[in-house]
Structure 1
Amino acid sequence: MKKQVTIIGSGIVGATIAYYLSADPTLSVTIYDEGIGQATKNSAGIISPWLSKRRNQRWYQLAKAGAALYPEIVADTQMGYSVYQQAGTIVTRSNAADLQALYDLAIERRKVAPQIGEIEKLTAAEVQQRIPLLTNPQPGVFISGGARVDGDKFAHNLLKYAEKRNLVRHKGKVTLGDQGQLMTPHGQQNYDTLILAVGAWLKPMLLPMHIVAKVRPQKGQLIELQLPETWGDDVPVLMPEGERDFIPFTRSKLVVGATHENDQGYDLQVSDLVEDDLFASGYKLDQNLTKAQISQVKVGTRAYTADFAPFFGALPDNPHILMASGLGSSGLTTGPIIGKLLADYVLTGAHDWDQYQLPIETYLEDAD
């Protein structure tokens, strides 16, 4: 009899788990998703962790591994440029000393992360040459390994790929009982392994089991603009100093964002004030933009922990229930590697995750 693995959540983590597990014919893999507020569908999509100043080395090792995994998955599934483009990243600094320090950091990190690729220090004019949209460029550091990904399309393609092998998908809200019983729109469902890849919704999902997941929701908004001009696939992502990220996707789509709103809970309403702020940030970089070019505003809910670090693994008292949460604004970078690590654990029963995270107990506590 096949082992039943059930995944809750079809974002970047859940989709990656499904992609890897569906290749095993000894498993029966099912995924449920409500599809509301998913961070994956509403993320800016920058894959470029190497110049981060975050001091958490576990996070950096995880993010570095996640960025390195993307080209492998993309090649295996034959995803096109509309999903993932490794066109490089430019990080700008107005101060010459800061720019040199950033360049030196890139050179140092490339010693153990060759995925960074080529590294160049660019003048403002050279930055504008790489990103012709800019009317107010600053000098920056270019790394060729940086990429952009359409998280929604990436997860969708992984799920479609998995469905052709061994995945069954269901829509609808699911809940847990006090002993981990899985209640679905089709009634109670049995499982051998349950994987909770629900992001910021992990806390309410675990409460019936009298477990508190120490995660909080963070609202993120971004704007997409459709521009009259077109460009090729080689325009880099811009991570500007003091402004929102500026992400030219293929042809004529420009993304500006995203916000980090800590006091909005699970609210998914578009804010006119935030839309104005995002447009103003983009306008400072490209004064040819107009508000009429805004095609949509996307809103999602990220999961954050107190130390801004993700966590994943099995419930301490129930090894049949796995989870992942707390990925924050780098979820598209760390999500695939977390999904792969959890899938490997399901397949082998072994793991070595200490290099990537603190013990999972750090992020869980008994409910009062």
Structure 2
Amino acid sequence: MKRKIAIIGGGIVGASAAYYLSTLSGHEQLAVTLYDDGTGQATSAAAGIISPWLSKRRNKQWYQLAKDGASLLMQLAREANLATDVYAQTGTIITRTDPTDMSKLWELAKQRAAEDPDMGEIQQLTAEEVKEKIPLLSKGQPGVYVSGGARIDGAKFVDDLLTQASQVNLTVKHGKVTLDEAGHIVTPAGTKRFDQIIIAAGAWLPDLLAPLGMKVAVRPQKGQLIQLNVQDFQDYENMPVLMPEGERDVIPLGHGQLIVGATHDDEGKFDLSVTKEATQDLLGSAQRFVAGLTVDSIAEAKVGTRAYTEDHSPFFGRLPMHPKILVASGLGASGLTTGPLIGRLLAGTAIYGGKPDWSKYEKNLANYFS
């Protein structure tokens, strides 16, 4: 008889867990069911940047998780044969306008590149050289180019992984589910029992665990981005992603499309409405780099809800009082970088059991529960 594993949440962690539950050794003995209602999912509204190496964050555990996550994504893109509109190693450019800050950034880049070959080639660029690499820019800033950086489309990434897993051992159920006091899954069709449950529900984790008498230190944050129609440079369909100092990220998609974002709205929480203020913020940031953009250039706006912890660190692992339940949350704005690795770690634990030591990636799980 096959072991039954459930996943609640079809975002970056849930979809990655489902994919690895269909590919890791032992997957032949599994029947996996994923539940997701799609409401407010951060991944489906995200177009992200995979470039953690020059982050200002001092959290060494987060950096190790993000660095290893970026490396895993390179491998996963090859294994899953992801198209370039899903994941593309375009390179990234991080800018600094102050010469002293630029010098510090360049020294950090050289140090990190020596430690991690996946970072690829690094170059120090003038403002004009940045414009040469991203010709749609009317204004450049000096920066550091990292060839290992990439862009990723969250919605397409998730759809691709779930499609591949569904051809092996995954069944996807659309709709909302809850837990009962015993930790079983309550669906519209009745209570379902599983051997293992992976809960990857982001900011909705506290509501799901409430019936178990548990409180989770996770808060929601609203994020919005916009997609713009811009000039199509047909010879530059894979331009680097721009991470300008003090501005929103600029993500060229090629084919005359550009994404700018995303905002960070702690007050918005679960509000999924597109706001005029956020749209103006994003458009203003784009206009400072690309001439001729107007409100009419906006093709689409997307909104999602991220999950944050007070220390801005993700957590994941097996619940001590409920050993059949594995959880993950608190990924924040770096979820597209760290989520696939977290999903793989949870999938491996669900298959092989045990209590792996993930202390190099995270603080003790007990820090986030009461």
TM-score calculated relative to the size of structure 2 = 0.97
SS in 1 for 2:181: coil
Q: Which residue in 2 is equivalent to 1:270?
A: 274
Question: Which of 332, 355, 358 pairs up with 2:363?
Answer: 358
SS at match of 1:212: coil
Match of 1:248 in 2: 252
- Structure 2 residue aligned with 1:285, among 285, 289, 298? 289
Which of 52, 58, 69 lines up with 1:66 in the alignment?
A: 69
Determine if the alignment matches structure 1 residue 214 to structure 2 residue 217.
yes
CA distance in 1, matches of 2:171, 2:233: 39
| Alignment-mate amino acid for residue 16 of structure 1 | S
Whole-Å separation in 2 of the counterparts to 1:360 and 1:250: 41
Report the counterpart of residue 186 of structure 1 in structure 2. 189
**How far does residue 92 in structure 1 lie from its aligned partner after superposition?**
0.6
Q: Please state if 1:153 is matched with 2:159.
A: no
Structure 2 counterpart SS, 1:213: coil
2:56 is aligned, of 29, 53, 56, to 53
- The Cα offsets for residues 293-342 of structure 1, whole Å up to 9 and x where unpaired, read as 21111000000000000000011111100010000000000000000011
> How is 1:85-124 mapped onto 2 (pairs within 5 angstroms)?
85-124=88-127
String of CA shifts for 1:274-293, please: whole Å, max 9, x gaps: 10111011000112222212
Partner of 2:349: 345
What is the Cα-based RMSD across aligned positions, in Å? 1.0
TM-score by length of 1: 0.97
Partner residue in 2 for 1:78: 81
Asked if structure 1 preserves the Cα contact closer than 8 Å seen for 2:15 and 2:162, the reply is yes
Q: 1:209 to 1:197 in 2, by over 3 A?
A: same
Which whole-Å CA distance do the structure 1 matches of 2:318 and 2:256 have between them?
43
The amino acid across from 1:278 in the alignment is L
Residue range with higher mean Cα deviation, 213-222 or 225-234: 225-234
Superposition deviation, residue 174 in structure 1: 0.2
Q: How far has the Cα of 1:226 moved from its partner? A: 2.1
Per the alignment, in what secondary structure is the counterpart of residue 220 of structure 1? strand
1:344 CA displacement: 1.1
CA distance in 2, matches of 1:82, 1:222: 18
Counterpart of 1:9? 9
Instruction: Check whether the contact 2:133–2:240 (CA below 8 A) recurs between aligned residues.
Output: yes
Q: Is the 8 A contact 1:82 1:250 kept in 2?
A: no
Give CA deviations for 1:342-367 in whole Å, capped at 9, x if unaligned.
111112213220100011111111xx
1-side partners of 2:229 and 2:365: how far apart?
43
Distance 2:47 2:87 in 1: 12
1:297 corresponds, among 296, 301, 305, to 301
Q: Is the 8 A contact 1:9 1:31 kept in 2?
A: yes
**Whole-angstrom distance in 2 between the partners of 1:48 and 1:30:** 32
Runs (4 or more) in structure 1 with deviation over 2 Å come to: 230-234
Q: How many residues are paired up?
A: 365
